[in-house]
Amino acid sequence: MAVMITDSCINCDSCIEECPATAIVSADDAPIAGFEHTYVKPEKCIECADSTVPKCADICPTEGAIVWDMPYIAEFNDYYKSGHEGGNYGIREHKSKGFMFPENSPKPYRESISQEDRAAHKNVSA
Ligand code: SF4
Ligand code: SF4
């Protein structure tokens, strides 16, 4: 991903404008029906890999609202595909290219974050 937003989020929407990849949308605009908090589109998140800190986490006032998820790369294609099918993600479907899963559209990620920390959805500390 990427990062993900948890149900600790207070829906202040402060992070939306900060994202350089327009990856964050408010609950009302989330691609999952009935979603109740601000949502990160993993197929767009670049983990702010070219910045010193993830900008969303830098502005977020809520401890535990933004956590790590797996890198959005081909190795985790099945992870995101099953998450999409299970309703955790709403991956965009491109008219001609199909679903923008990692194998079709990999994204930059922070190599410094371990897979263990990602799998545990550790807090993104900016
Ligand atoms: S800044 Fe934090 S609390 Fe506010 S909408 Fe974003 S994730 Fe939620
Ligand atoms: S880590 Fe960066 S690119 Fe990803 S959602 Fe946060 S601000 Fe956007």
pTM of the model: 0.96
Q: Is the residue at 63 inside a domain? A: yes
The protein residue whose alpha carbon is closest to atom 6 in ligand 2 is 56
Beta-strand ranges (E) seen in the chain are 3-5, 24-25, 39-40, 66-68, 93-94, 98-99
Closest CA to 37 of 67, 73, 66, 10: 10
* Token representation of residue 11: 């829906």
Ligand found nearest the CA of 65: 1
Q: Is the residue at 124 inside a domain? A: no
The protein residue whose alpha carbon is closest to atom 1 in ligand 1 is 60
Q: Tell me, what DSSP letter sits at residue 123?
A: B
Residue 22: CB atoms within 10 Å: 11
Residue 78: partners with Cβ closer than 8 Å, 6 or more residues away = none
Task: Provide the domain count of the chain.
Answer: 1
Q: Is the residue at 125 inside a domain? A: no
β-strand 3-5 against 66-68: which pairing, if any?
A: antiparallel
**What is d(CA 63, CA 78) in angstroms, rounded to the nearest whole number?**
29
Angle at 94 between CA 119 and CA 16, to 5 degrees: 55
Q: Is the residue at 10 inside a domain? A: yes
Domain of residue 86 covers 3-119
Q: Is the residue at 126 inside a domain? A: no
* Closest-lying ligand 1 atom to the alpha carbon of residue 13: 5
pLDDT per residue rounded down to tens, the chain (126 residues): 499 999 999 999 999 999 999 999 999 999 999 999 999 999 999 999 999 999 999 999 999 999 999 999 999 999 999 999 999 999 999 999 999 999 999 999 999 999 999 999 999 985
> What CATH number should be reported for the domain holding residue 100?
3.30.70.20
